[in-house]
Chain A
């Protein structure tokens, strides 16, 4: 699986949009971009994933650049409960069962 690069930490004001970037310049054509988050001491939680097109669900939006070398996770209205470590993972799925978790981005939502 391709490696990812994320900033170690970010702050966001409560109620504002949180934009979390991820670089994955070596991504290959069959690899998806996944986002998970881990709230303190809990198990990671799946947020969203995408291949080429932008995706949106009830939790977040995922914007993938046209060349697929980077992506941005958007939390449209951050709340204090969104304070967590966010992991960007590139994974092909078929035939490869390991999700490679890096150190992620520690997002702090500030009142």
Chain B
């Protein structure tokens, strides 16, 4: 079963707008939550990550919001740019540390 559920599947945003991608999980033992950005034909690249003892982390235009009680976390991209057009994956690290579970991805298109 899908350990990390991601939505929406695709997203279209105007340049300068805010892109929001959501993820939810069930396993409370997950202890690390990274987001990856993937361009066509490339491998996923780490964008930003958060631990569950923090409610928010911001790096430049990218912010992760984390709601531990709701078991949800989201990626916000402020001032979205056409260069942000890519597929975004959320992930969670399992309690053994052996496995990272990935969401199914969100294809973001930023329209000029």
Asked whether A and B interact, the reply is no
A contact residues vs B (CB 8 Å cutoff) = none
Q: Which positions in B face A, CB cutoff 8 Å?
A: none
